[in-house]
Structure 1
Amino acid sequence: MSSSQISRRNWLKRGSLTMAGLAFMPSEIWAKSVEIAQQNNSTYIFNTSSTFNEFTPPITDETKLKARLLANENPYGPPPLAAKAFQDEVFTGNRYGWETLKTLIEMIAKKEGVTPENILMAPGSSDILEKVAMVFFQKGGDVISADPSYMSLINVSKSVGGQWKSYKLLKDSQHDLKSMEAAIDVDTKLVYICNPNNPTGSITNAKDLKAFCSRASEKVPVFVDEAYIDLSDNGLTDSMVDLVAQGKDVMVARTFSKIHGMAGLRIGYLVAQPETLERINAITRGGMGITGPSIMAATTSLQGKEFLDMSKTKIAEARQYTKAFLDKKGLPYLPSQTNFIIFEIPTDGKAFLKEMYSKGIGVKAFNFWDKNWCRVSIGTMDEMKLFTEALDQVI
């Protein structure tokens, strides 16, 4: 075992093996893991037993990047009216935001077709993912998901004693729902679905997924991460949230970080059964972790449609431009209905990142299915032109 693996493991043990410690540190654990991997010149940030590993990025000052295309952010946000609402609310920062949060919860509940008792607010959906993992896996058990998938809930589940049962996406990049359903047994504590999926950008057929969630939730809770659902072709039509209204044991996570352009304002929510939310709320600050200005920005953004439509249209245009470039270069990519594309790279992932970063372009690189991949977030058209110019020089 390498010294880098030992040092990282020891650090993780010190920082994450207690519920009290982990409750405050998932993001710090990630940042520290990246730092340690960089210092030790490790190929991957984490070496996992799955088919999915993320290459370590080079040490760099991300504020100096010409195009930051690595975090799937909305390059057009936040909406101007939401930004103004945020600024105005700063002057009431001496007061708690209980009443404004109540208004936002009622607005979200009406939008989702549920009651306010079905809503749990949080400082971003990542906080929800991590807290759900802590609640459901503190006594062990299995989490079932696709591989690759978004790893936040999975990594925290493993940190507190859970086991990951992963199932490779199908050839069309959809979830292998048949295999995942067959895998549910007495040790299964949760099924996790990221749809649209991250890092692939693909979306699983809504009709098939809804039938799966209905059946599976009769046996175990099902968590559906819909961070990117607004960006998909059918948008909220493909959401699983109506299953919550039907009383199913389904959780649906949403965020204001993507289509609403508020990644830095940290606000998201979970739609689930009240008894499920009570379990999760026992270890969270809930709405107390969200600032008043962020609450007002989210409330304002929910009342407007023009900015969201504009963002989706421009992102789709830049995505199409990028796909056309990849086609011309002969670089295969997976079907995406999100604000990012993942494509094959015929080179070492770590070396690829070093070259792209040296040209001022921040992206991510992964290894799965015995191939190396680059995931590029869709920025403005100007940013995507900077990306394609750099990629043309690197590959």
Structure 2
Amino acid sequence: METSKLNRRDWIRTGLLTAGGITLLPHLGIAETAKASIPLDRNGNALYSPLFKEYLPEKFPDESKLLAKLNANENPYGPSPKAIDALKNVATKGNRYAWKELFALIDKIAIKEGVEAKNIMMGPGSSDLLEKTAMVLFMDGGNVVSADPSYMSLIRVAEATGASWKPVPLKEDWSHDLKGMEAAIDKDTKLVYICNPNNPTGSITDTKELLDFCSRVSEKVPVFVDEAYLDFLEDGTKQSMVGLINEGKNVIIARTFSKIHGMAGLRVGYIVAQETTLNKIQKITRGGMGIAYTSIYAALASMDDPDFQNSSRSKNAESREYVYKSLKQLGYDYVTSYTSFIIFPIEMEGQLFLKKMTEKKVGVRAFEFMGKNWCRVSMGTMDEMKIFTAALTDVLA
């Protein structure tokens, strides 16, 4: 397959580095290192692996004109009213650094996660911490093992830093092939990355199997578990791998305020890990320095608003069920989702599909997995999902 390389300078020169492009492709990450590059096929689509590519629109839509913006897995209901009030109340202190306040947030998170404050590292969103981890761990090369397809932020930065990627295809039920991933580990493996629930597929891996895997494998190599979407599960806390920290296991758990808390634009996230691991990362780079004073107060307040989180979870599930029913009526199958988005196969070339949906003023994403075209749609409000299904009916009819 004919490919080309698109680096940061090329993005600027070709005009792709626009607000629309950034929002559509958060995991391609212009926050990644400057030498990070994106392999493209001859049609300008992003190639992640031989099994996984993303269709990029010929022209990024003006998102201010979209009737339903469903392309970035954003929570349409947030931030929490309490978080908004807190942010407003401290807006005039935006001229101050917030170290004391950051420590207060760390302490609060530590209590929630059942660990010590020394096990927490903050960052402006969890992707920032995925990337910082990759930059530090792969400074001297090595390889990273992960599923394919999966969230690419850590992988792309690891490769740009000098690592190689050892992708292991997901199983037929879309869960991680844990046996295959363990078999892929060799003397040069420096990290195993697991996104659970997985993005962009929305699928989940059995908790008991994953717990056993992380416990055993972390004795040989660090295991990074990205739990950005775990809060959309009713029993998400019980399915977290964070308890392994207190067992002394060499795991890294990523969480974010971007999803269930509806704070994607306020940029707050954290990782939970062994103190020695965090010291290694923080020797090179600081995480909490990138969080705004106002965002810290918003996060503190949002943690005290479980009603908002429960409401977001409930409404998200309601939207999912509506889309499931609509897809069935249209004769389309789907992958059962444990997240705030759904993927389903489409019988249309991806770029053409994006063009037609954009003409209907609906923003979605399109991928190719293992030679088959898929749409990924984020869960918006019920009104937005009705706009989406109406547009989908017209486009795929």
Residue of structure 1 equivalent to 2:16: none
Match of 1:27 among 2, 26, 29: 29
Alignment map for 1:249-328 (pairs within 5 Å): 249-328=250-329
Q: Deviations over 1:327-358 (max 9, x none)?
A: 11121211101110000001100100000011
Tell me the alpha carbon deviations over residues 147-184 of structure 1, each in whole angstroms, 9 at most, x when there is no partner: 10000001111111111111111111111001111111
CA contact (8 A) 2:129 2:287 kept: no
CA gap of 1:274–1:237, structure 2 versus 1, over 3 A, is same
Q: CA deviation at 1:83?
A: 0.6
Contact 2:140 2:162 in 1 (8 A): yes
Question: C-alpha separation between the residues in 2 aligned to 1:235 and 1:108?
Answer: 16
Rounded to whole Å, the distance in 1 between the matches of 2:349 and 2:189 is 36
Q: Secondary structure of the equivalent of 2:208?
A: helix
Q: Shift of residue 118 of structure 1? A: 0.1
Q: Per the alignment, in what secondary structure is the counterpart of residue 71 of structure 2?
A: coil
- State the partner residue of 2:356: 355
Compute the displacement of 1:6 (Å).
Answer: 4.8
Equivalent-residue separation in structure 2 for 1:26 and 1:341 (angstroms): 20
Kept after mapping to 2: 8 A contact 1:44/1:53: no
Match of 2:55 in 1: 55
Aligned-partner SS, 2:265:
helix
2:138 and 2:158 in contact (8 A); partners too? yes
Q: Which residue of 2 aligns with 1:5?
A: 4
Residues 196 and 232, structure 1, Cα contact 8 Å, conserved in 2: no
Instruction: For structure 1, list consecutive stretches of 5 or more residues without a partner in the other structure.
Output: 15-24
Q: How does 1:194-209 map to 2 (within 5 A)?
A: 194-209=195-210
CA–CA distance in structure 2, aligned partners of residues 256 and 28 of structure 1:
21
Residues 112 and 270 of structure 1: CA distance in aligned 2, closer, same or farther (over 3 Å): same
Distance apart, 1:29 and its partner CA: 6.2
Contact 1:50 1:147 in 2 (8 A): no
Q: In 2, are the aligned partners of 1:122 and 1:128 still within 8 Å (CA)?
A: yes
Tell me if structure 2 keeps the 8 A contact 1:363–1:375. Answer: yes
- Which residue of 2 is the match for residue 21 of structure 1? none
Q: Does 179-188 or 42-51 show the bigger shift?
A: 42-51
Q: State the match for 1:246 in structure 2.
A: 247
C-alpha displacement at 1:233, in angstroms? 3.9
Contact 1:233 1:337 in 2 (8 A): no
Moved more, 81-90 or 385-394: 81-90
Does residue 1:390 correspond to 2:379, yes or no?
A: no
Q: Is the 8 A contact 2:8 2:30 kept in 1?
A: no
The answer on whether the counterparts of 1:44 and 1:54 sit within 8 Å (CA) in structure 2 is no
Residue deviations 1:240-276 (CA, integer Å, cap 9, x gap): 0000121100000000000000000001000000111
Instruction: Kindly tell me the number of residue pairs found equivalent between the two proteins.
Output: 379
The equivalences for 1:1-395 within 5 A come to 5-6=4-5, 8=7, 11=10, 27-28=29-30, 43-57=43-57, 58-395=59-396
How far has the Cα of 1:96 moved from its partner? 1.4
Of the structure 1 ranges 70-79 and 42-51, higher mean CA displacement relative to structure 2 is found in 42-51
| Residue identity matched to 1:61 | D
CA distance in 2, matches of 1:102, 1:9: 35
Q: Distance in 1 between matches of 2:44 and 2:175?
A: 26
Shift of the 48–304 alpha-carbon distance from structure 1 to 2, 3 Å rule, reads closer
Equivalent residue of 2:74, what SS?
Answer: coil
Bigger shift: 131-140 or 246-255?
131-140
Contact 1:26/1:156 (CA < 8 Å) preserved in 2?
Answer: no
For the residue of structure 2 that corresponds to 1:138, the secondary structure is coil
Deviations 1:1-36 (A, max 9, x none): 96x825549849x9xxxxxxxxxx973267x99xx9
Structure in which a larger fraction of residues adopt helix: 1
Once residues 248 and 30 of structure 2 are traced to their aligned partners in structure 1, the CA distance between those partners, rounded to angstroms, is 36
In the alignment, residue 53 of structure 1 is paired with which amino acid?
A: K
Structure-1 separation of matches of 2:176 and 2:29: 27
Cα distance in structure 2, aligned partners of 1:131 and 1:294: 20
Residues 360 and 42 (structure 1), Cα distance of their counterparts in 2 relative to 1, 3 Å cut:
farther
* Cα drift, residue 188 of structure 1: 0.6
SS class of match (1:264): coil
Pairwise CA distance, 1:92 = 1.5
The question of whether the paired residues in 2 share the 8 Å contact of 1:26 and 1:130 is answered with: no
2:185 aligns to what SS in structure 1? coil
> Which secondary structure state, in structure 1, belongs to the residue aligned with residue 198 of structure 2?
coil
* 3-state secondary structure, aligned to 1:227: coil
Amino acid at match of 1:304: D
Q: How far apart, in 1, do the equivalents of 2:308 and 2:349 lie?
A: 39
Alpha carbons 1:54, 1:367 under 8 Å: kept: yes
Instruction: State the 1:304 CA deviation.
Output: 1.6
Q: Deviations over 1:112-146 (max 9, x none)?
A: 01000000000000100111111111211111111
Per the TM alignment, residue 59 of structure 1 is displaced from its structure 2 partner at its CA by 2.4
* Structure-2 change in CA distance of 1:41 and 1:169 (3 Å): closer
Q: Hey, what's the Cα distance between the residues in 1 that align with 2:210 and 2:387? A: 37
Q: Does the CA contact (< 8 Å) of 1:43 and 1:350 recur in 2?
A: no
Partner amino acid, structure 2, of 1:51: L
C-alpha distance in 2 between matches for 1:217 and 1:156:
22
Determine the C-alpha separation between the residues in 1 that align with 2:334 and 2:196.
18
| Structure 1 residue ranges (4+ consecutive) displaced by more than 3 angstroms after TM superposition | 6-12, 40-45
TM-score (norm 1): 0.91
TM-score (norm 2): 0.91
